[in-house]
Amino acid sequence: MNAAHLEKLNDRQRAAVEHGVGLPDGKAGGPLLIIAGAGSGKTNTLAHRVAHLIVHGSDPRRILLMTFSRRAASEMARRVERICRRVLGDKAGVMTDALAWAGTFHGIGARILRDYADQIGLDPQFTIHDREDAADLMNLVRHQLGFSKTESRFPAKGTCLSIYSRAVNAEAPLNEVLRASFPWCASWEKQLRELFAGYVEAKQAQNVLDYDDLLLYWAQTMSDPALADEIGGRWDHVLVDEYQDTNRLQATILTGLKPAGRGLTVVGDDAQAIYSFRAATVRNILDFPSEFSPPASVITLDRNYRSTQPILAAANGVIGLAKERFTKNLWTERESHALPCLVTVRDEADQARFVAEEVLENSETGMRLKEQAVLFRASHHSGPLEIELPRRNIPFVKFGGLKFLDSAHVKDLLGALRFAQNMRDRVAGFRIMQLLPGVGPSTAQTALDALAESPEPMETLTALPTPPRASADWPGFVAMLSDLRSRAAGWPAEIGQVRAWYEPHLERIHEDFEMRRADLLQLEDIAAGYPSRERFLTELTLDPPDATSGQAGVPLLDEDYLILSTIHSAKGQEWKSVFVLNTVDGCIPSDLGAGSSDELEEERRLLYVAMTRAKDSLNLVVPQRFFTHGQTSTGDRHVYASRTRFIPNSLLQYFERRSWPLAVAAQETGAQRQVRLDVSARMRGMWR
């Protein structure tokens, strides 16, 4: 058979592609685990394996290919067709069009459940709820059971759905899930069990399934040996991409499809397992070989086609300290003398200025903005940078959460400041009044109409009758505005006053209020850099980050823009130059992710993922000081940050260490040092 389509593969890739193909009587090979390091051509190898199976006579309708997005599945199908065309010519299109079973776990699950609905007691006409619909139904059951009227606050609908989803996908008992991931809800275990039972009954009564059901019903179906044989027998080959991101439920489905492992291929990288918050477990890929007897074959792809050797050496050093992993050291033929940099800066403001200057300097050398990226652990870490970039006229697009100033809670805080500044600002007033429980659109409208006609809006607001359903919160709202109008506290303490008023509402409205609170504290830091409230609001209004980066949609294709991204959202991407912000303990690893050994190991993998996104240049930025909150405008209370524990002294050999900005010693000449008044001589003469 012509193997021209395999010529561009390296030896390891070729071994992975050819494993178990062409056996006598068309038998499928044993289970295969492909450990594909960052930038090692994983997608290309998987596409070649599918194409190689088709070229060697496998029926494409009997190949199941599972990826984590529909886009990835369709891209894979296109690649397979291109590869097949080199060998099969015009027949390739017909062959690959029949690759009908390519999609996500949830998409394939929905098809299977419809096909077997009658046999498992399911109405084939079932509908599927998205997350919002599922949360609304959970809330309805919550109300029916009376849990929304409890004396202490019962978890909101979104939290309840997250707990249910985690327990289902992790195949873990509810008490363990609560203890590990939702400890603040542990006292409600009995009520949550009742709620989830009611939720399941409500779904069945309405003939609906949620996302989790698509996997759960499929897994339950596979528990019947006859059905498992029938369903698993539909495919000769099952291939799974990004196996490190699967949860226990997905692993159960796979072993049900191919209990002996014949024809089963999984691809992934244990060093890039960073989605435990979605119930994914790295154990799936680490334990895969031992799931079968004889154990699965393991082929490691360790040649990197993305990064330079110094970057890989540093990344290998970081992941080499992991407690448990498949041993691999990425290597490349891309040599370079430029080491990755550990850049020490004074604080977050200097960090933002450093990145902006470096980005502009790279642009001067011909590097496009799109070829540069700034990565961070949490979305709010980019706040100061999002303010600095428009000042330098650098457009950007942010991935992983909303832009800082687009977030609802940040808009709420700024809205309060704007309304205090101008009480005839109806947009701001309408927004913040409706934050109060019991104040709806009509009440807010009436109040704003009265303010609009008054020469003294604050006096009018004070004189307005308290809305009956907002009697508890209205006086505090008026008092907060009065304090801001009086300017007694001064700037930037005023923004602290607003935050103190807003925080109870933040906790009431948003489930993730702790993370959102961090954003508000970040905004306080930014505000301290402006001399007045007017200046702060004016500059953010006239030139917000949105103004230069396009609106919420994707910018025009011909525009150039800098990439800002959380590390999670950056997975699978690559750029010529990468900056990683806040490479310090407390940020990487995050304070919230340093509770257990497993969580710490995931944080280590997160840094590894960030480092391996860089092709030519990598800068890890280490701010020395983080200012504490709740101090006066002239306060200087701060804490010193230490470099991330994932880069101990033993790894410093892999990095260039530099400080920014460089201190320039003054070159003083004799002429410049003409003494006009010899104070020293006078001091000596006082006693003579």
For residues 417 and 534, what is the distance between their CA atoms, to the nearest angstrom? 9
> Quick check: helix, strand or coil at residue 429?
helix
Tokens of 29: 């090979």
> Quick check: helix, strand or coil at residue 189?
helix
pLDDT mean values, one per 10 residues, the chain (688 residues): 73 92 78 93 90 87 87 81 78 66 87 90 80 81 81 82 93 92 90 94 84 91 92 94 92 93 93 85 92 92 93 94 82 91 93 95 92 91 89 85 68 85 76 86 85 85 87 89 88 88 88 78 79 72 37 47 90 93 90 76 94 96 78 65 93 95 59 73 82
For residues 250 and 281, what is the distance between their CA atoms, to the nearest angstrom? 10
For residues 558 and 570, what is the distance between their CA atoms, to the nearest angstrom? 22
> Quick check: helix, strand or coil at residue 680?
helix
Contact call for residues 207 and 125 (beta carbons, < 8 A): yes
Which whole-number Å values give the CA distances from 115 to 107, 196, 227, 343, 427, in the listed order?
13, 27, 12, 57, 52
Per-residue burial over 634-668, b = 16 or more CB atoms within 10 Å of its CB, e = otherwise: eeeeeeebebbebbeeebeebbeeeebeeeeeeee
pLDDT tens digit sequence for 352-376: 999 999 999 999 998 999 999 999 9
Q: Given 3-state DSSP classes, what are the helix, strand and coil percentages for the chain, each rounded to the nearest 5?
A: 55, 15, 35
Where do runs of H (alpha helix) occur along 20-172?
42-55, 70-88, 91-97, 105-115, 131-144, 157-169
For residues 525 and 348, what is the distance between their CA atoms, to the nearest angstrom? 9
Q: Tell me which DSSP letter residue 662 carries.
A: P
DSSP tally for the chain: helices H, then strands E: 28, 16
For residues 362 and 389, what is the distance between their CA atoms, to the nearest angstrom? 15
pLDDT tens digit sequence for 539-561: 565 444 432 233 333 444 447 88
pLDDT at 577: 96
Contact call for residues 372 and 525 (beta carbons, < 8 A): no
Where do runs of H (alpha helix) occur along 407-544?
408-421, 426-433, 441-452, 457-463, 474-486, 493-509, 513-527, 533-542
Task: Identify each DSSP E strand in 192-328 by its residue range.
Answer: 208-209, 237-240, 264-268, 297-301
Which whole-number Å values give the CA distances from 295 to 86, 251, 289, 516, 594, in the listed order?
35, 16, 5, 47, 34
Which whole-number Å values give the CA distances from 657 to 298, 321, 340, 586, 673, in the listed order?
38, 21, 9, 21, 35
Tokens of 413: 């805080």
Contact call for residues 314 and 644 (beta carbons, < 8 A): no
Give the amino acid at 287. Answer: D
Number of C-beta neighbours around residue 592 at 10 A: 14
Task: Identify each DSSP E strand in 559-599 by its residue range.
Answer: 562-566, 575-580
Give the amino acid at 375. Answer: L
Counting Cα atoms < 13 Å in the Cβ hemisphere of 38 gives: 29
pLDDT at 544: 45
> Quick check: helix, strand or coil at residue 290?
helix
pLDDT at 89: 74
Among candidate residues 263, 329, 332, 333, the one with its CA nearest the CA of residue 35? 329
Query: Rounded to 5 degrees, what are φ and ψ at 644?
Result: -50, 140
CA 565 to chain centre: 8
Among candidate residues 42, 49, 602, the one with its CA nearest the CA of residue 300? 42
Give the amino acid at 642. Answer: S
Counting Cα atoms < 13 Å in the Cβ hemisphere of 90 gives: 0
Among candidate residues 468, 472, 489, 467, the one with its CA nearest the CA of residue 420? 489
The kind and range of the H/E element at 659 are strand 656-659
Contact call for residues 413 and 498 (beta carbons, < 8 A): yes
Question: Quick check: bond before 468 cis, omega within 30?
Answer: no
Per-residue burial over 406-415, b = 16 or more CB atoms within 10 Å of its CB, e = otherwise: bbebbbbbbb
Q: Tell me which DSSP letter residue 382 carries.
A: G
The kind and range of the H/E element at 228 are helix 225-232
For residues 232 and 94, what is the distance between their CA atoms, to the nearest angstrom? 25
Rg of the chain over all Cα atoms, to the nearest angstrom: 30
Give the amino acid at 465. Answer: P
Which whole-number Å values give the CA distances from 199 to 137, 140, 141, 183, in the listed order?
7, 9, 6, 22
For residues 227 and 121, what is the distance between their CA atoms, to the nearest angstrom? 13
Per-residue burial over 45-56, b = 16 or more CB atoms within 10 Å of its CB, e = otherwise: bbbbbbbbbbbe
